[in-house]
Amino acid sequence: MVMNLRQLSFVVLSAAAFLVSCTSQVQPAMVAETQELSAYEKFVLRSRSYPTVMEVYLDDALLERADKKCPIVICLGQQRGRLYVDNQVAADWPVSTGADTHPTPTGPYRVRFKEKDHASNRYGKMFNAEGKCIDNNADAFTQQIPEGGRFEGSPMPNWMRLTSDGVGMHTGKVVAGKRLSHGCIRLPHTISTMLFDIVEYGTPVIISEDIEPNYPVAYIMAQREIEAAEEAASEAEPEGEL
């Protein structure tokens, strides 16, 4: 069923508050009165697969005003990252965070340190004395380096450290919607380069399983949840007796 999102009723908006955490800060009146779709709304709407897409959204005008005080939000549930400027989405990109065995911690953080060319001191490749790689996913904290061998830490370009135990943001392999890392937040290289130039010590980074309260298109995502639930319920209905 194709629906006009500009004609969403308060019932749908109430459902949005139920389905998306803390969406009470989304203003229904603003949604109903807006006549034209914003560039960001068009970005979200053009793919029914969002947020599990590799596409990146950039608002050049907002990015020109970005500084170290602008908050970065990492939504684990969506596996998306967003940079806010003046409470508007200036950038939206896919991330790959910690796998189930190494979950990314949630909470408010601040950038503690950044380094352009960084390598992990824990995860990487293990080589024997002959120089042959014997483990390409080694953990130097729990595995012993073979006699005469060496450990080579995984490269982490544009490293932005968030926690005392080594969780941070950096360039890495990203697969839309997939949690792949040892706890860090992997970013596309173009995004990590952009953020590295913006962030400084103290830049706020919020990591949450839920969508952030001020997410400007939470109502769209809630509507998709409703439609998906209705479709699933329809498919589950038993066929009538012959």
State pLDDT tens for residues 94-106: 999 999 999 999 9
Query: If you average pLDDT over residues 202-215, what whole number do you get?
Result: 95
CA 118/CA 15 separation, integer angstroms = 45
pLDDT of 236 above 90: no
CA 185/CA 160 separation, integer angstroms = 10
Question: In the CATH hierarchy, which top-level class contains the domain 54-118+156-213?
Answer: mainly beta
Residue 139 is predicted with a pLDDT of 84
Domain ranges of the chain: 1-38+216-236, 54-118+156-213, 121-154
Split at pLDDT 50, 70, 90, the class of 78 is: very high
Q: State the pTM of this model.
A: 0.78
Give percent of the chain with pLDDT exceeding 70: 83
Split at pLDDT 50, 70, 90, the class of 4 is: very low
CB 116 within 8 Å of CB 90: no
CA 19/CA 34 separation, integer angstroms = 23
CB 182 within 8 Å of CB 129: no
Give the mean pLDDT of the chain. 84
How many CB atoms are closer than 10 A to CB 52?
14
Q: Omega into 51 within 30° of 0, i.e. cis?
A: yes
Residue 158 is predicted with a pLDDT of 98
Do the strands 204-208 and 107-110 form a parallel or antiparallel pair, or are they unpaired?
Answer: antiparallel
CA 237/CA 53 separation, integer angstroms = 31
Per-residue pLDDT tens for 167-183?
A: 999 999 999 999 999 99
Helix or strand or coil: residue 46?
coil
Split at pLDDT 50, 70, 90, the class of 238 is: low
HSE at residue 217, side-chain half, CA atoms within 13 A, is 19
Residue 232: enclosing H or E segment and its boundaries? helix 218-236
From the list 198, 194, 197, 168, the residue with the least C-alpha distance to 183 is: 168
